Amino acid sequence: MVSIAGGTKSAPADSSGMSTETIERVAVLGAGTMGHGIAEVAAMAGYHVALRDVEREYVDDGYENIEWSLEKLAEKDQLGDTPAAVLERIEPTTDLETAVGDADLVIEAVPERLALKRDVFAAVEDLVDEDAILASNTSSIPITDIAEATEDPGRVCGLHFFTPPVRMALVEVVHGEQTRETVADRAAEWVESIDKNPIHVRKDVRGFVVNTVLGPFVSEAAWMVSDGEATIRQADAAMVHQRGYPMGPFELGDLTGIDVGHHVRRERGMEIPPIIAEKVEAGDLGRKTGRGYYDYEDGDGADYEPGDGEGFDTLRVEARMVDRAAYLVGEGVATPDAVDTGVTLGLGFPEGACRRGDRIGLDTVVEKLRTLHAETGADRFEPHPYLVELVESGRTGEEAGAGFHEYDEDGNRVERTAATADPLEGS
C-alpha cells in the first residue's frame, strides 16, 4: 500500500522509466460535486491536495462544500482528524501550474466533454514531472480517447469515483489501450491508501464495469413499459420488493437524472426506449425538475407499493444484466470478482451480477435470452458467447458447483486461485 503524505517508499522504475515511488501530493482539477469530493477524501487520508478550477467562485464553492461535509462527519464522529487539520491540507487555486507543478497524481474531474478533457491533459502534461500519473474521473469517455492528447499515453489511466466520493467505497481503475501496468498498479495502491476499494477495468470499454451492468437494469424495464408490457410502478415494485434492489429502475432514473442516461445512450449510438425519450423531450428529468417518472412537486414521488410488482418479468431484466456481466468477463474487461465488487459497492445491489446469475442458473438465463431473441429478433437478447460456453461446459451455476464462480457442496463460494481464474481458457 502507498504511504500517505510525508511517507517514503522507493522502488525501481519500469522499463519506460516510470518511477513507482510514493504518491505524496495530489491535484484535483475541477471543484464540482465529484472534484471537491475526491479532494476531500484524499485530504482525509493525509494527502496534500490542490483543488483547482477555472473561476475563483467555483473553487470557493467547492472548498465550502468540503468544509460543510467535514463538519457533518465530525459531528457524527466519523472523522479521524479535526476538520481544520484536513482543510489545512487542501490548497484552493485557479492557477493550473500551481496546482499540478509538484503533483505526483493529477485527477481530472471537469465536465464530460472529450475536447475539454483533451485540452486539460495536453496542458497538464507540460507542467508535471515525467513520473506523475495523469488520471481522469470520467464515467463515460474512453480513457484511450483522452490519452491521445498526451505525448505519453502510457501514464494516463481512469480513476472513476462514485458519488458522493466520501461515502462510496468503489473506484474503477481503468486501463486505456496504452496504460502501463505500473501506472494502473500505482493508481490502485493509492486508491487503497484512501480507504477505497479499487477494481481493475482492464479494457477500455464504454461504461466500464458498473455502468455496463447497470444499463439493462434501467433500459430493459424502459423497453417493457414502452411496449405496454409493464407499468412504471410494477417494474419498480418488483425489482425492489421481489428481487431486493435498493430502488427500482425508474426511481433510480429520477434520482440520477433521466437526461443523463439519455445522453449516454445517444452518444453510444444506442436505440433509446420511447419512455425515456418522451420524458427528456418534455423536460421531465426527475427529481431535479420536480417531475420525471414520478411527481415530486404535487405528488408523492416514488409511491409504488410492494404488491404493485405482481406479474412483472424480473428474469428478463436480470438475464440481460447477467449477459452484460458475461461480456465483461468473456472479453477480458474484468474478472467475476471485480464485476461483483463493482456492482455491490458502486450500486448498492444486494449481490453481484455474476453471483446472481449463478444463483438463478446460467442455463435458465441463456434459455430466457434465446426465447426473447426468437420472439423479438432484437440483438440485445443474443447471449454472449462466453455465457453460452459456460453453460455448454456444464458450469451452469451454484447448483452445478460452478458457474462464473466456484461453489462447495453447501453452495458457498470458493475463492478462486490463479489456476482457475479463467475456467474456459484453452477450451
Which positions are catalytic?
A: 160
379 near 386, Cβ under 8 Å?
A: no
Rounded distance, CA 134 to CA 147, Å? 9
212 near 324, Cβ under 8 Å?
A: yes
Helix (H) or strand (E) holding 255: helix 249-256
Largest CA distance in the chain: 63
Residue 195 has which C-alpha cell?
480507504
C-alpha distances in angstroms, 173 versus 34, 150, 189? Answer: 16, 19, 10
Peptide bond into 198 cis (omega under 30): no
387 near 379, Cβ under 8 Å?
A: no
In one letter, which amino acid is 229? E
Rounded distance, CA 155 to CA 153, Å? 5
Rounded distance, CA 348 to CA 168, Å? 9
Q: What is the length of the chain?
A: 427
Report helix angle 314-330 to 362-376, nearest 10: 110
Q: Name residue, grid cell 424502459.
A: 222
Q: Which residues contact 390 (CB under 8 A, 6 or more apart)?
A: 326, 362, 396, 403, 404, 423, 424
Pairing of β 170-175 and β 156-161: antiparallel
53 near 34, Cβ under 8 Å?
A: no
Helix (H) or strand (E) holding 26: strand 25-29
The closest of 191, 250, 146 to 26, measured between CA atoms, is 191
Identify the three-state secondary structure at position 173.
strand
121 near 134, Cβ under 8 Å?
A: yes
